[in-house]
Amino acid sequence: MERREMDFIAGETIYFNKPLDWTSFDLVNKFRHKLSHKLNVRKIKVGHAGTLDPKATGVMIVCTGKATKRIEEFQYQAKEYVATLKLGETTPSFDLEKEVDRTYPVDHITCEMVLEALAKFTGEIRQVPPVFSACKINGKRAYELARKGREAPLKAKTLVIDEIELLTCALPVIQIRVVCSKGTYIRALARDIGIALHSGAHLTALQRTRIGNVTLDMCLSTDRIDDFLEDIITKTTIEDETV
């Protein structure tokens, strides 16, 4: 992150690399707690743009103060992901959050078939969100119902996938790069790719590498939060004292 004078209460935007097994809310809450303690304030407004699943890592934009008004702006910017899929197996969550529940044949799949299948998902598509998602059904989050065994049908949504690139093909494992619009579930895309290949699939790894112009190399590691706040706030205090 760039080192400069920051006013978190008035509003700042910070880029983080979300760790594996943290929820997006874990990151926001931990940063808010550390920031409040460092500034010696009881409350400070903190929000994030673009939720990442616990099993996903990568770019997450966090806004404070009046900068939270920019969250919607960030959410509508294109997002880029690198996803690793294992073909021939599915899980209820479409990723590693749940255990494999079903296996499918993969001997018929070739890398050429994978390329042909991926091409079908470029452009405007309809996608049914995962049942383990934050989509609301009659005021309840879908994942809350799913965890209680009360799954309800979710409606397909229209979204846009600008690019899909096959990075590696070591069957039954493939890695793809996806550039997509707001509301795209890469887990659901993995499910649909499996179906298109007359098999099954789930994510074994997912990293968000970009939101708009914000890339991973611009992001702060969560284990550097304390040092980051110390540097910024100490620098600001020294400058204030010398004015």
**Residue 184: which of 51, 27, 63, 22 has the closest Cα?**
51
Contacts of 64 (CB under 8 A, 6+ apart): 8, 9, 11, 12, 13, 14, 35, 44, 45, 46
Active site residue: 7, 26, 53, 217, which one?
A: 53
Antiparallel, parallel or unpaired: β 173-180 and 157-170: antiparallel
**Residue 27: which of 12, 10, 43, 15 has the closest Cα?**
15
Distance CA 184, CA 119 (A): 16
* Beta bridge partner(s), residue 4: none
Q: Is 7 a catalytic residue?
A: no
44, two tokens: 């400070």
Question: Which are the catalytic amino acids?
Answer: 53
